[in-house]
Structure 1
Amino acid sequence: MRIAIVYQYYQGTGAPGHSLIYELAQFLAGRGHEVTVVSGETGYMQRDTPNLPWYRRLRREERDGQVRVLRTFTYSELHRSYLGRLLSFASFSLSGAVGLLTIDKVDLVLASSPPIFPIFAAALVCRIRRTPLVIEVRDLWPESAVQMGILKNRTLIRIMAWMERRLYDQSARIVTLTEGIRDDICGRGWPANKVDVVTCGVDFDRLYPDPQGAALVRSARGWEGKRVVMYFGALGEANNIPVILRAARSLRERGDVLFVLVGDGLRRQAIEQEVAADDLANVVVLPPVAKHQARVYLSAADVCLVTLKDIPLFDGAIPTKLIDYMACARPVLCGIRGEARRILDTAQAGLGFEPDDDRQLGRLISELLDDERCRERLGANGLAFVRSHFAAERMRQRMESILRMVAETGSVSNPAADGLR
């Protein structure tokens, strides 16, 4: 197959944040498919500002192994504010669509959302060129932004909801990251036989328990003698970091407990300011870590945390960090309802707490830190579960079979069906 992948944040395992699209692209290319990725210039948690002048950044080609990568101009200050993020989306919407037009016609386009604006632009190119479109939905837009209170302008909400409907109508297949997202889409009228679930998976040659690496990290960071409670991932509005900071305040008298937040995002500066203002000596905020180093940091933790805001939409979320924690045999405290909590409970890999209940979180942290045997049991359960249910190789094979089916049938949107919803 000749496949074009459109995703704003294509990055390898040497960069912080997830690398799911990179791993999928490399897998498909290794299976003999011709893969071109159209991407922006920066990673999701990477603050590096491009050094080249703007006119030399309009369109650049790279080779990443067997994958052809087309980088197009993107506003890079997405971490400064919501306006910066919007400008980043808008710039890639234009440049990415133009970049997609410049490549030879492919058998299909796989576009990953969010953000939704560049995917809508890519869909227009697919319509012009009569190319089948497969949409991978990692998060529901605009509904997630509305429920978090980020998006309040009614006109913009209506525009984005219309864009979402048009995208789902036009797509040959819709691939969701979780069952909750699939149920939401099907519940709004799209046929179940058009929607597939392909969850995130784990590369067990990269993520595994690493006690030797953990010892090195603990020594280098001065964490010997500390009980490390770690959050590893995005520091954004959705991630509900305040509940962790409140729990840290309640445990500040325990000199052996250290909260470590590893990551970046829109809320990082505010989090650092709050830690400094409240003199939370038991909280450390570290910059994001490359994916290939994640296991040594996760293995250095005694307990890992996964949190999200308490909104109904996140009942269908499975943060990749949850699976990563379990792959490194770490016991997990989960402040998310719904699908993520069901995975944790089924695996018996940790304990759940009410999303905004810092007192319950503080109590569970103390109990787990004082019970080494329980931590070991929960960690072992989690590792066994992800090995059985979340192997990345199987997930990529499933995605390949979906793409192959679309390419072979040559399915494109039915213009008569567009706009019915």
Structure 2
Amino acid sequence: MKIAVVYQYYQGHSAPGHSLIYEYTQHLAEQGHQVTVISGETGYMRPDQPRRPWYKRLLRIEHDGPVKVVRTYTYSELHRSYLGRLISFISFSLTAPIGLLRADKPDVLLASSPPIFPMFSIWLVCRLRRIPMVFEVRDLWPESAIQMGLLRNRALIAVMSWMERVLYDHCDLVVALTQGIHDDIERRGWPANKLKVITCGVDLEMLFPDLCAGRTIRLEHGWGDRNVILYLGAMGQANNLDLMLDAAGRYEDKEVLFVLVGDGMQRPHLEARIRAECLDNVVILPSVPKAMARAYINAADICLVTLMDIPLFQGAIPTKLLDYMACERPVLCGIEGEAAEIVSVSGAGVVFPPSSDQLVIAIRALLLDPERRRSMGENGGRYVRAHFNAQVNRAKMEATLDKVANSLPSR
């Protein structure tokens, strides 16, 4: 098959952040398919700026192993403000169709969202060229932005809601990243036979227990024998990381160190709080490449995952949760819904109501019981290997794309 994939933040394991699309495309190419990716210039957690002027960056073709990558101009100041992120989305909406039109006509196209604006312009090209389109939904937009309080403009909400309806109506298949996303879309009226769940799997060759790598990180950073509570990932408003700093401010035991590794729009705010409140038991580190994530996770005694307490996030499964579990680290989960169910059913950690007092109580209880932490880690590892193996999910995506490509022509 000739497969086109559109995702604004395509990047490999040498960069920090999500690598699901990279892993899908490399797998598809290894199976003999001709794969072309249409992507923007800046990774989700990469604030570095392109040096060439914008008019020399309208379109650039590179190769990532067997995968052809067409990078198109995108506004790169997305980390500075929500307006900057919106402009970045809109810029990719205008340039991504150019990249797709420059590529050979594919047999099927996979479009991964958010953001939703580029998906709409890509759908228009698919409709004109009669290309079957699979729409992967990682996050429900605009509803998640509305519930977080980031989107209040009624006109913009109406436009984005209309785009969402058109995409769900006219794409050939909607792939939801979690069961909660699937159920939300079905509840709003779309038929079950147009929806499919393919969860985010874990690359078990990259993420696994590695105490030697963990000890190396501890030595490099001088953490010694301190008990490390780790958060590794994006630092956006949705991630609710003030909760971790609140808990650190209440924690009197200086043998406990709170470590945040990552980047995002909230990082300057978190750094300012650490300075203003003299939180000497908190360390904030730059984001690390996906290939280095295993070492940092294995350096932790306990790993933390949390999101804002809004109804929509009850259907979320943060990839960092699965990464922690794959490395057999005990997890503190401050999220209700699907993520909490995974932690509870697997026995991989403790689910706590998202408050700093409850987080402190949970940390103290786990640090007093090393055997319980060890057992939780092993439970999580077994569960991920049984239910979230990336190899299985890549094969599911390949079969899904093949089925859509060989079905009736796109409407």
Residue in structure 2 matched with residue 51 of structure 1 by the alignment: 51
Offset, 1:204: 1.1
CA distance in 2: counterparts of 1:315 and 1:47, whole angstroms? 29
Amino acid at match of 1:359: D
Residue in structure 2 matched with residue 397 of structure 1 by the alignment: 395
CA distance in 2: counterparts of 1:121 and 1:395, whole angstroms? 27
Amino acid at match of 1:188: R
Alignment partner of 1:361 is 2:359: yes
Offset, 1:342: 0.4
Residue in structure 1 matched with residue 23 of structure 2 by the alignment: 23
Residue in structure 1 matched with residue 405 of structure 2 by the alignment: 407
CA distance in 1: counterparts of 2:211 and 2:329, whole angstroms? 12
CA distance in 2: counterparts of 1:127 and 1:194, whole angstroms? 18
Offset, 1:48: 1.4
CA distance in 1: counterparts of 2:278 and 2:316, whole angstroms? 33
Kindly provide the CA deviation profile for residues 96-140 of structure 1, in whole angstroms up to 9, marking residues without a partner as x. Answer: 111111212111111000000011110011111111110000000
Offset, 1:375: 0.5
Offset, 1:176: 0.5
Kindly provide the CA deviation profile for residues 356-387 of structure 1, in whole angstroms up to 9, marking residues without a partner as x. Answer: x1101001101111211111000000001001
> What is the TM-score with the length of structure 2 in the denominator?
0.99
Residue in structure 2 matched with residue 296 of structure 1 by the alignment: 295
Alignment partner of 1:104 is 2:126: no
Offset, 1:53: 2.0
CA distance in 2: counterparts of 1:45 and 1:147, whole angstroms? 23
Query: What SS is found at the alignment partner of 1:35?
Result: strand
Contact 2:120 2:167 in 1 (8 A): yes
Contact 1:74 1:95 in 2 (8 A): yes
Contact 2:176 2:182 in 1 (8 A): yes
Give the gaps of 5 or more residues in structure 2.
none
Residue in structure 2 matched with residue 62 of structure 1 by the alignment: 62
CA distance in 2: counterparts of 1:205 and 1:168, whole angstroms? 35
CA distance in 2: counterparts of 1:230 and 1:68, whole angstroms? 36
Amino acid at match of 2:3: I
CA distance in 2: counterparts of 1:332 and 1:255, whole angstroms? 21
Moved over 2 A (4+): none
CA distance in 1: counterparts of 2:386 and 2:103, whole angstroms? 39
Residue in structure 2 matched with residue 135 of structure 1 by the alignment: 135
CA distance in 2: counterparts of 1:305 and 1:141, whole angstroms? 25
Alignment partner of 1:345 is 2:329: no
CA distance in 2: counterparts of 1:128 and 1:204, whole angstroms? 40
Amino acid at match of 2:56: R
Contact 1:172 1:411 in 2 (8 A): no
CA-based RMSD: 0.7
CA distance in 2: counterparts of 1:213 and 1:18, whole angstroms? 21
CA distance in 2: counterparts of 1:336 and 1:347, whole angstroms? 15
Alignment partner of 1:32 is 2:43: no
Contact 2:2 2:35 in 1 (8 A): yes
Query: What SS is found at the alignment partner of 2:135?
Result: strand
Contact 2:233 2:261 in 1 (8 A): yes
Query: What SS is found at the alignment partner of 1:409?
Result: coil
Residue in structure 2 matched with residue 219 of structure 1 by the alignment: 219
Residue in structure 1 matched with residue 189 of structure 2 by the alignment: 189
Alignment partner of 1:230 is 2:230: yes
**What is the correspondence of 1:4-403 to structure 2 with a 5 Å cutoff?**
4-251=4-251, 253-355=252-354, 357-403=355-401
Amino acid at match of 1:160: M
CA distance in 2: counterparts of 1:408 and 1:7, whole angstroms? 23
Contact 2:130 2:409 in 1 (8 A): no
CA distance in 2: counterparts of 1:191 and 1:19, whole angstroms? 30
Query: What SS is found at the alignment partner of 1:109?
Result: strand
Offset, 1:18: 1.3
CA distance in 2: counterparts of 1:361 and 1:104, whole angstroms? 52
CA distance in 2: counterparts of 1:105 and 1:277, whole angstroms? 55
Offset, 1:164: 0.1
Residue in structure 2 matched with residue 417 of structure 1 by the alignment: none
CA distance in 2: counterparts of 1:204 and 1:63, whole angstroms? 25
Amino acid at match of 1:158: A
CA distance in 2: counterparts of 1:216 and 1:317, whole angstroms? 32
CA distance in 2: counterparts of 1:101 and 1:162, whole angstroms? 25
CA distance in 1: counterparts of 2:283 and 2:178, whole angstroms? 32
Kindly provide the CA deviation profile for residues 9-50 of structure 1, in whole angstroms up to 9, marking residues without a partner as x. Answer: 000000000100000000000001110000000111011111
Amino acid at match of 1:328: C
Kindly provide the CA deviation profile for residues 43-76 of structure 1, in whole angstroms up to 9, marking residues without a partner as x. Answer: 1101111122222211000011110000000111
CA distance in 1: counterparts of 2:319 and 2:258, whole angstroms? 20
Query: What SS is found at the alignment partner of 1:38?
Result: strand
Amino acid at match of 2:397: M
Kindly provide the CA deviation profile for residues 149-169 of structure 1, in whole angstroms up to 9, marking residues without a partner as x. Answer: 000011110110000000001
Number of residues of Structure 1 aligned to a counterpart in Structure 2: 411
Offset, 1:410: 3.7
Query: What SS is found at the alignment partner of 2:184?
Result: helix
Give the gaps of 5 or more residues in structure 1.
414-421
